[in-house]
Structure 1
Amino acid sequence: MKGSQYAVIGLGRFGSSVAKELIELGFEVLGIDRNEEIVDEMSNVLTHTVVADATDEEVLKSLGIRNFDCAVVAIGDDIQASIMAAILVKDLGVKNVVAKALSELHGKVLHKIGVDRIIYPERDMGIRVAHQLVSPNLLDYIELSKEYTIAELSVTGRISGMTLEQLDTRKKYGCSVVAINKRGGIVIAPTAEDTVDERDIMVVIGTNEQIEDFQQAVSG
Structure 2
Amino acid sequence: MVIGLGRFGSSLALELTRRGTEVLAIDSNAKTVQHLAGSITHVATADATDLEALRQLGVPDFYRAVVAIGTGLEASILTAALLVEMEIEDIWAKAITKQHGQILRRIGVHHVVFPDNDMGERVARLVSGRMLDYMQVDDDFALCKTRPPREYVGRPLGESNLRRKYGVTVVAVKSPNEDFTYATADTELSYGDVILISGRTDDVERFAELP
TM normalised by structure 2 equals: 0.86
What's the secondary structure of 2:9's corresponding residue? Answer: helix
For residues 111-166 of structure 1, the C-alpha deviation after alignment (integer angstroms, 9 at most, x for no partner) is: 1112121111221111112111221x312333333322222224467655654434
Answer with 72-81 or 139-148: which moved more: 139-148
> What does residue range 26-105 of structure 1 map to in structure 2 within 5 Å?
26-105=20-99
> Would you tell me which structure has more strand in proportion to its own residues?
1
2:137 counterpart letter in structure 1: L
Query: For residues 188 and 22 of structure 2, what CA distance do their matches in structure 1 show?
Result: 39
Out of 76, 96, 114, the residue aligned to residue 120 of structure 1 is: 114
> Distance in 2 between the 1:25 and 1:186 partners?
24
1:85 alignment partner, SS class: helix
Give structure 2 stretches of 5+ with no counterpart: none
3-state SS of the aligned residue for 1:46? coil
**2:198 corresponding residue in structure 1:** 205
Q: How many residues align?
A: 210
SS in 2 for 1:28: coil
Deviation at 1:62, TM superposition (A): 2.1
- 1:57-91 Cα distance to aligned partner (Å, 9 max, x none): 12222222233232111101110010111111122
Q: Which runs of 4+ in 1 moved over 6 A?
A: none
Greater Rg over alpha carbons, structure: 2
Change (3 A) 1:181 1:38: farther
Q: Percent identity?
A: 37
Work out whether residues 169 and 214 of structure 1, in 8 Å CA contact, stay in contact via their aligned partners in 2: no
